[in-house]
Amino acid sequence: MSFSENKKSSVHHVVIIGGGFGGLYAAQTLAKAPVKVTLIDKRNFHVFQPLLYQVATGGLSPADISSPLRGILRQNKNTEILMGEVKKIDPKKQTVQLKYREISYDSLIVATGANHQYFGHEEWADRAPGLKTIEDALEMRRRIFIAFESAEKETDPKKREAWLTFVIVGAGPAGVELAGALSEIAHGTLKEDFRNINTKDAKIILVQSSDRILPSYSPVLSAQAKASLEHLGVTVLTGSRVIEMDNQVITVRRSDEIESIKARTVLWTAGMKASPMAQHLSECTDAELDRAGRVIVNPDFNIPGNENIFVIGDVANYSHGDKPLPGVASVAMQSGKYVANLIESRLKGKTIPPFRYMDWGSLAVIGKHAAVVEMGFLKLSGFLAWVFWMFIHVFYLLEFDNKLIVMIQWAWSYFTTDKGARLITTPGEHPTIELEEHGEKLEKEPLDELEENVVIKNLDSNVTKSYVISNHYVTLENNK
Ligand SMILES: Cc1cc2nc3c(=O)[nH]c(=O)nc-3n(C[C@H](O)[C@H](O)[C@H](O)COP(=O)(O)OP(=O)(O)OC[C@H]3O[C@@H](n4cnc5c(N)ncnc54)[C@H](O)[C@@H]3O)c2cc1C
């Protein structure tokens, strides 16, 4: 008999959508409660998003910052895990719809998170990938290391410079951390690995629309973070907004000035937009959404008029304090825990005190030796802050194996500057790839239907040829 059939009884059924910080903490808090829990996620693993930038820059491997959901919740005998994407919620029938299955709930917790936001320029997504999932991090890693490889092959100094120019848009914690790590790669990790380029010539430009980086931190720490980045060789452009992008150039407006930057690699860490589930919830429950598309929730995290539907973490706008709670992991964890306790108390006919967010502070790391930490009155920067950051991040990694591996990797990379995971493995195409054949310059034309069959035009002779690209080898198939 399956778990679902076995537990089909009067036991209260809590369905949780999303196995990120919010959903997972809710499930863990319900481990001993007299309920049946079904946790549904599109993926079979939980990702520790604060360390995604380390995967993007080759410092850690995907498995170091991810844990299988089944492994984490192995001991929770009242919990089943289903891998699948919830497409639809029916509040009247109290069901959620997976592709081939409908699941009933008594209480529903929606913890589907958020994505990055291109502020109406979705067409920039291909050119400037964001950083939200493991796949995003691998795509960034691919582009970063392809840029160095391409610069090594390039003979034209201007084109080489463009390959060695990296623009990061958005200077919140993720952008700052990415910029610091990229600089560390260029100035440390790779400095002896190439023969035709000096990787220290790489330009790393961090573009931020507001007048300071890390705007959610105090101005003093923002200024210290900026100084640390500049010390690492990063150019910080504050008060600057991206207004245009093409394959070669990114155009930035800075008050009245327009600057065109020739850069082959653009990485996006700006903005936040609620996951599509928020829009669906709004349609089926009349829930109000904020400008970022997040569901505006009651003080108990439920949706007005829907006492048994709770929305937590990044997909929720909780505005019952001075200002809406920020989209950070501690908000997701605490809201998940609170809602789980609330459900259990209600089942016992009890109430619990209103939710109070405990601000555990903000941390951002800048390269290998510096960080900024803000915890109430405590404001730290520099090396001490970096040690603090390191221990906090290792502490919150879910599994002991991950903690151990990450500690070893960091210790190794600290003393050697090495970053072992700098592999170019993921399939996909860089917007325009230049290939060389017998010294001729070739430019790739738009793809054929099949990714592997590529039509390439010789820029000098204007002759077009068809190639097969497989396993990193390019073979001439036939002349046209
Ligand atoms: C690059 C980066 C760096 C960050 N750094 C920090 C930091 O240093 N400190 C900090 O506190 N916070 C940081 N954050 C923010 C923090 O990671 C988020 O606030 C937190 O992950 C939110 O948790 P959540 O549970 O709401 O959503 P998530 O953790 O995003 O989880 C959402 C889950 O829902 C699943 N899902 C989505 N839609 C569906 C669906 N329809 N059906 C099934 N499953 C679905 C997803 O697969 C995912 O597993 C960072 C975020 C990023 C992206």
**Cα 111 to ligand 1 centre (Å):** 9
139 catalytic? Reply is: no
Tell whether ligand 1 has an atom less than 6 A from the beta carbon of residue 41.
yes
For ligand 1, pick from 103, 132, 328, 338 the residue to mutate: most ligand atoms within 8 Å of CB. 328
The rounded radius of gyration (Å) of the Cα atoms in the chain is: 24
Q: Where are the domains of the chain?
A: 10-42+84-114+273-347, 122-270+368-416, 436-478
Q: Quickly name the fold that domain 122-270+368-416 has.
A: FAD/NAD(P)-binding domain (3.50.50)
Q: Relative to the CA of 46, which ligand 1 atom is closest?
A: 49
CA dist list (Å): 75 to 15, 28, 48, 179: 18, 10, 21, 40
465: which 2 tokens?
């040829």
- The ligand 1 atom at the shortest distance from the C-alpha of residue 393 is 8
- Say how many Å lie between the CA of residue 474 and the centre of ligand 1: 38
Count Cβ neighbours within 10 Å for each residue of 295-325 and write b for 16 or more, e otherwise.
bbbeeebbbeebebbbbbbbbbbbeeeeebb
The Cα-based distances of 393 to 39, 174, 203, 223, 335 in angstroms read 25, 14, 29, 23, 20
Query: What does pTM read for this prediction?
Result: 0.86
| Whether the CB of 42 sits within 6 Å of ligand 1 | yes
Total residue count of the chain as it appears in this document? 480
What DSSP character marks residue 148?
Answer: H
- Using CA atoms, how far residue 77 sits from 35, 44, 243, in Å, is 10, 18, 53
Expressed in angstroms and rounded, the spacing between residue 17 Cα and the centre of ligand 1 is: 12
The sign of the torsion formed by the CA atoms of 143, 146, 152, 156 equals: negative
Ligand 1 in reach of 96 Cβ (< 6 A): no
Q: Report whether residue 313 contacts ligand 1, using a CB cutoff of 6 Å.
A: yes
Please give the backbone phi and psi of residue 18, each rounded to the nearest 5 degrees, phi first. 110, 120
Indicate if ligand 1 lies below 6 Å from the C-beta of 173: yes
The finding on whether 390 has its CB within 6 A of some atom of ligand 1 is no
Per-residue pLDDT in tens (0 to 9) along the chain, 480 residues:
455 544 456 899 999 999 999 999 999 999 999 999 999 999 999 999 999 999 999 988 999 999 999 999 999 999 999 999 999 999 999 999 998 899 999 999 999 999 989 999 999 999 999 999 999 999 999 999 999 999 999 999 999 999 999 999 999 999 999 999 999 999 988 999 999 999 999 999 999 999 999 998 889 999 999 999 999 999 999 999 999 999 899 999 998 899 999 999 999 999 999 999 999 999 999 999 999 999 999 999 999 999 999 999 999 999 988 789 999 999 999 999 999 999 999 999 999 999 999 988 888 888 877 888 888 888 888 888 888 888 888 777 767 677 777 777 777 776 676 776 778 876 654 444 444 444 444 444 443 333 445 555 555 555 555 554 443 334 444 433
Measured CA to CA, the distance from residue 144 to residue 151 in angstroms comes to: 11
- Residue 359 Cα to ligand 1 midpoint, Å, equals 18
The domains spanning 10-42+84-114+273-347 and 122-270+368-416 adopt the same CATH topology: yes
**Which architecture, in CATH terms, is 10-42+84-114+273-347?**
3-Layer(bba) Sandwich (3.50)
Identified catalytic residue from 177, 344, 374, 434:
177
What pLDDT does 459 receive?
53
Q: Which residue has a Cα nearest atom 29 of ligand 1?
A: 20
Q: In this predicted structure, what is the pLDDT of residue 455?
A: 54
- Is the shortest distance between the CB of 175 and ligand 1 below 6 Å? no
Instruction: Name 35's bridge partners.
Output: 12
Sign of CA dihedral 460, 464, 465, 467: positive
